[in-house]
Structure 1
Amino acid sequence: MGSESEDTVSFTVIENEKENITSLKKGRSAKILHDIIKSKITQQDYNSQKQVFETALLHHDNDTLDTYMEYINWLLEINFKGPQNDILLQVIERCLVEFNHNIRYRNDPRYLEIWLLYIDSFYMDALTEKRDMFIYLFRNKIGETLSIFYVEFSKLLFAMNRYDECYDFLMIGIQNNAMPNDLLLNSFKDFKVELEANGIVITPERNMEERNIDDMLLKYGNIKILDKNLEEILKQGPVHTMINQIRSSKLDIHVDDNDDSIQSDNKLQIFQDDWTNWETKSSKLKENKAIVTPLIPNTSIEPIKQDIKEIVKPSDKILIFNDDIGRMKPIYKTILIDGQKPQRIDYNFDLINNGADEYNLEQLLAIMKGCYRKRDTKRELDAEERPLKKPHHSGL
């Protein structure tokens, strides 16, 4: 047994860090929190203990879920200022993925507890996403026989003012004999008291005995999981074996009576293996986010310093397009006429009247191409008038 000084908790130590301590739904132990703050665990100690858990997960031959529980609880206690580098998110999602396809753990209270921690910790500000995650658990029958699943889901639905859905899922929990019974029944009584206190009246469409999971999915399944809703899911696969289950539904579902590949024992398409996966939260965090740093006592909060990018200076490289390259500016000819305004003509008269000679446009083009040659007409006429001399043939 420890001494009295060892068991004493100094709240002065906790007081200096109170603004940095994140709350837990199950609460924190003041003794553990006091010891962690006072011991001032270094980064090396943190990494060493983390490696112990990682090694235990690799070499644990039996039930690794207990190791995950200890690992997660240690991270929650040691990182009282918030998770470092999303390590808590990564460990929780590793655990959920590892046991996601194992039927043995679907109704394990420990596994459901980690799921609820995951939803409460990383979807706290998104009620719609939280509801989607509960629907995912419901579709995959995770926590189907545990009262805490229906209680927590009903609290969320009540907060979203979805009173009919809240009633339906509490009824499903009672019908499935979820344990412990008293927890679910007390939650249902509290739900009815809240309805009466707020003057809310709901009208259930059917009796409790007629309700089943498939009916609830058809009624409340038009949420998007993996960017698909229930109607799209049902239309993608074989459905003619479900006619008796969905005949009362308003969904317009195509039925192919000639499809012989459908087995008679098929269930709703949403229970197939393709729907046992979900996109993890860590894979969605692709955008840059600000680094969360704890507040330091007795210091003022200053504005975040912005990174100043280097100003790009103009370069000497040739521009992609420039009108001035290889072109001359237009040349204008100004004509002055007495009593009139001067006229400016967009034409270079100096090319036509070049000194004593005058050229037309064809001649100018020939000069530009270097093929212009001035003909001597007088010499040509003299050559035409001069008689041709007959060749002189010498005799043999």
Structure 2
Amino acid sequence: MRDLQDHSTDVGQGNDSRKRKMDEFEWETSKENVIPLKRGRNVSDLNKALRAHDSFQTKMRLDDEVKVKEDAIKAYDGDDPLADWVEYVRWLEVKMPEDTRKKFTVLEQCTRALKDNPRYHNDMRYIRLWIQYADLVSNPKDIFKYLYQNKIGECVSLFYIGWAYVLETMANYPQAHKIYLKASQKYVM
């Protein structure tokens, strides 16, 4: 009897080990649905987030957290509303990596909400959000034209690098070169 109990314990541990190995590679079955980040992702956080989406309770908890974050942004009365938006986008990237639509919506809301605030026009955090937004639209070139026309990012090198990169991916090298020249004329590169 004792031998049988010891054997069943070993089998249970083997199942746990196999389950852990399968869980470690949860992203393998979902990677086409995950938005890549230029800074990379923590694989264990990504696996946790992907496993969590299978549970109804987890989805409900995430929906509640989204509501709390959005309510906090609406009710914010401090001197740096951009900080909450930046934190919210980062949270979405970690907790909801597959939800491209939600990230797109949040980036669109943030960029629109702060577009008339000159304080943020050359804030690196704000420009990064605009570039992330441009990465998700069908014609990112239009986003950069809008930013340039509205003097958003004109003193931030990342703006020019992002704009030139978009043009280079379209094989429009002469225009990309002009963008780099504009940046050097503004002394940002």
Question: Could you tell me the TM-score, scaled by structure 1's length?
Answer: 0.39
1:70 alignment counterpart: 87
Tell me the amino acid that sits aligned with residue 44 of structure 2: K
Cα distance in 2 for partners of 1:90, 1:81 equals 14
Specify the structure having the higher radius of gyration (Cα): 1
Quick check: 1:138 aligned with 2:148? yes
Q: Report the residue type matching 1:99 in the other structure.
A: L
Deviations 1:98-126 (A, max 9, x none): 11111111101111111000011233xxx
AA of the residue aligned to 2:149: R
Match of 1:162 among 158, 168, 172: 172
Question: For residue 41 of structure 2, what is the aligned residue in structure 1?
Answer: 28
Map Cα deviations across residues 323-351 of structure 1 (whole Å, 9 max, x no partner): xxxxxxxxxxxxxxxxxxxxxxxxxxxxx
* 1:138 partner amino acid: Y
State the distance in 2 between where 1:169 and 1:26 align: 24
Larger RCO (CA within 8 A; separation ≥ 6): 2
Pair 154,49 (structure 1): closer, same or farther in 2 beyond 3 Å: same
Q: 1:153 aligns with which of 159, 163, 184?
A: 163
2:181 corresponds to which letter in structure 1? M
Please tell me whether the aligned partners of residues 72 and 91 of structure 1 are also in contact (alpha carbons under 8 angstroms). Answer: yes
Question: In structure 2, what is the equivalent of residue 368 of structure 1?
Answer: none
Tell me how far 1:174 sits from its aligned partner.
Answer: 0.9
Match of 2:135 among 106, 114, 120: 120
Residue equivalent to 2:22: 12
Q: Taking structure 1 as reference, are residues 13 and 146 closer, same or farther at Cα in structure 2, changes over 3 Å only?
A: same
Offset of residue 163 of structure 1: 2.1
Once the two structures are TM-superposed, the CA of residue 132 in structure 1 deviates from its matched residue by 1.6
Q: Is the 8 A contact 1:107 1:145 kept in 2?
A: yes
Q: Distance in 2 between matches of 1:119 and 1:107?
A: 17
In structure 2, what residue type is equivalent to 1:55? Answer: D
Equivalent runs, 1:371-390 vs 2, <5 Å: none
Q: 2:134 corresponds to which letter in structure 1? A: I
SS class of match (1:118): helix
CA separation in 2, counterparts of 1:137 and 1:29? 32
What is the CA distance between 1:150 and its match in structure 2? 1.0
Amino acid at match of 2:58: T
Q: Which amino acid aligns with 1:70?
A: E
The answer to whether residue 72 in structure 2 is matched with residue 59 in structure 1 is: no
Q: Distance in 2 between matches of 1:160 and 1:11?
A: 41
Look up the SS of the partner of 1:161 in the other structure.
coil
Paired position in structure 2 for 1:175:
185
2:117 aligned residue (102, 114, 121):
102
Structure 2: stretches of 5+ with no match in the other structure: 1-19
Query: What residue number does 1:42 align with?
Result: 58
Say whether the 8 Å CA contact 1:14–1:37 is kept in structure 2: no
Aligned residues: 163
Q: Going by fraction, where is helix more abundant, 1 or 2? A: 2
Verify the 8 A CA contact 2:27 2:46 in the aligned structure 1.
Answer: no
> What residue is the counterpart of 2:12 in the other structure?
none
Asked if the contact 2:25–2:47 (Cα under 8 Å) also holds between the matched residues in 1, the reply is no
CA contact (8 A) 2:26 2:50 kept: no
Q: Which whole-Å deviations, capped at 9, do the CAs of 1:141-194 have from their partners, x for residues lacking one?
A: 11101111111211222222222211211111111111xxxxx4xxxxxxxxxx
Measured in 2, the distance between the counterparts of 1:68 and 1:131 equals 24
| Structure 2 letter corresponding to 1:151 | I
